[in-house]
Every structure is written in C-alpha cells, then in structure tokens.
Amino acid sequence: MTPSPPARSAPQHPHRITLADFRAAAREVLPATAFDYLEGGAADERTVRWNAEAYERLALLPRVLTGTSGVDTRRTLYGTELPSPIVLAPTASHGLFHPEAEAATVRGAAATGALTTVSTFSTLTLEEIGAAATGPWWFQLYVQRDRALTEELVHRAREAGAGACVVTVDTPVTGLRERDLRNGFALPSHGTPANLASPGGPSAGSSTGAPGSTHQGIHDPRIDPAVGWSDLERLRTVSGLPVLAKGIVRPDDARRAAEAGIGVWMSNHGGRNLDTATAPLATLPAVADAVAGRVPIVVDGGIRRGTDVVKALALGADAVALGRPYVWGLAVDGADGVSATLRALHRETELALALLGAPDLASLTPDLVGPAW
C-alpha cells in the first residue's frame, strides 16, 4: 500500500507557535501511512519515548543577577559560523512530504541560516539539492557494499557543495518498523531515492527507505553491515571533507572517534533501529568527558523545546539536530514551514538562555542542569 502525495493546503492554525503545533498540522495534512512512516520507531517504540523523557527528567538551575542584557546563540562548526546551534538531521524521502522535496528543505533552512544534513536517500539528486541550497549543508552517507559507488557519492556531494560527510554507523540492519509493516508501506514514486537510481540501487520497497522489502534475511543487499573505523578514516582521506560518525552513544566509541579526528554525532536513529537503546542525552556527559573538546559533538533525539537545546549544550554538546520536527513543517508549508519550525525553536532557545542568566552558548555549563526529582 502506498500513500498518495500529501495535500498542499494545511488546516488553518493561526497560533502555530510550537513544534507540537506543527506536528498536529502535519498529521492532518499527511496520509496516515506517510505520517506513520515519519513518526514510527522500532518495535514497542520505547526508545522513541525515552529520547523525549530524558529531557523531562532534567531540571534547569538558573543564575540570577548576572547583568545579562542580551544573548548570543552563534556557533561555529568546522569553520562555518551559524546563527544557532540547531541543525537539521538527515531524513529520507522528502518528496513523500512535499512536492518540492529537499529543495524546499534547504531553502527553508537557508532562510534562517541553519545547516542541513542531506540523506543518501534523498528524493532529489545531490546535484539538484546543491543547486537549490544557498546555505551550508552536509551529506549523510550509508556506506554501500559497492565501495566505488560509496566514494562516487561522497565526491558528488563535495562537488555539489557539501561541507562535511556524516557517516551513519548505527544501521548494519534496519530496525523492526512495525507501523510500516502493518500498513504495508512501500515508498511511492514521489519518495524514491534518486542518488542510487541505477542498476543495483534501491527500489521503492528498499528496507533502508521502508521495511517490507523484497530481499530475504535481515541485511539489505546494498548497505554494507561490516563498516569499520578504517572505512571512516579512508573516507576522510578520499573526500577531503571533515567526517562525523552518526550513531555513537558510548564514551569508548566517542573516544576512539576523537582520537581519529572524526566528529561525534550522538544518535539512536530517532528510536527507529534498536528499541530500548539508550537516549543520547543519558550518556552525553560521559561522552563529552571522553571527547574532551577534540572534535565537535552533535546530539539528536527527542529535542522539542528550547529548554531541551540548552540542556544538551550545558551537558557538553556543541550542536543539536532536529529530525521529525522540521519535516512536520515541510509537510505543512514547504520551505516556509521548515523556516517556521526553526524560528520557533530558536526563539525558545534565546528565551531559555536569557532566563538562565547565560549570555552565550559558552555560558551553558553543567551546573545549570540537575535532576527534576
């Protein structure tokens, strides 16, 4: 069963001011199967819940009488100054949510100065996305069994303007996406990945794009399950780009990445792979200690409020990444919807900084965070 393209007129929401408001609007606009594909996690979806609950279990301990008259949210990542520490995580198949697909996403992000991370499984080609992008973007890579194709993808991304390569390391196999299995979901033509549309590339039923593929066994015939540290080091050499490993939650893995000069992207794939995997926020302080400032740390998973952003940064993250929320905006109002979600979260982050007595991101220190009970 495949959904029809989403409707283009969102219900009227004059007070759409939070990420939750955009989620509600997206649910009304999108076919149920597409919404489930976006929202669903693995198995019982405990990790999806834990990602958000990890932030709820922490309280903020604001400073007062600091004489702070303004806040500065700027953050520099690999030499690129960004107005905010909020970046866009890679999500697949934007054509499933809006006819302009990733072109709308990168335009919406650029309107706020935000950095976009483009998925290997984008609906548009890397060249089309690069042509539409007026702001910074990174390329997310699933290492292919065909290593020549892998290097070709990285070279194409760099030529199209990508500033870094984010290698997903937590997906040797795809998780048990039960919502998609029950829905009989397969990617329709307007969501099919474009960058691998060649012999050996994924079909609409690819398990990396959606469960229920035609191949047998747990492994995808294209995605290499045996990626090692040497592969990341080689990618950094052949690409000439900074490389980040996306999917780290353990301090020992983070230490090894930092020792190799590989950036750390803390993630459990939005709870979509291994159910009951820990929330990244739970291990962030230990990971920050292991990294010791040698490479950037990006954290995703469960961030829905500006207070979540400042908690993650106070505990050691350099930036946070949004996945589902900006896709809600994309579904509701294309590029403008992406911009609106980012502006809403940025405003909340500014307010949180001001109320914490923190004039800038460097002022976000661990003593500002404690247990909620």
Q: CA 247 to CA 265: how far, in whole Å?
A: 6
Set 94, 190, 269, 346: catalytic member: 269
| 13 has catalytic annotation | no
Strands 75-77 and 80-82, by their bridges, are antiparallel
Active-site residue numbers?
269
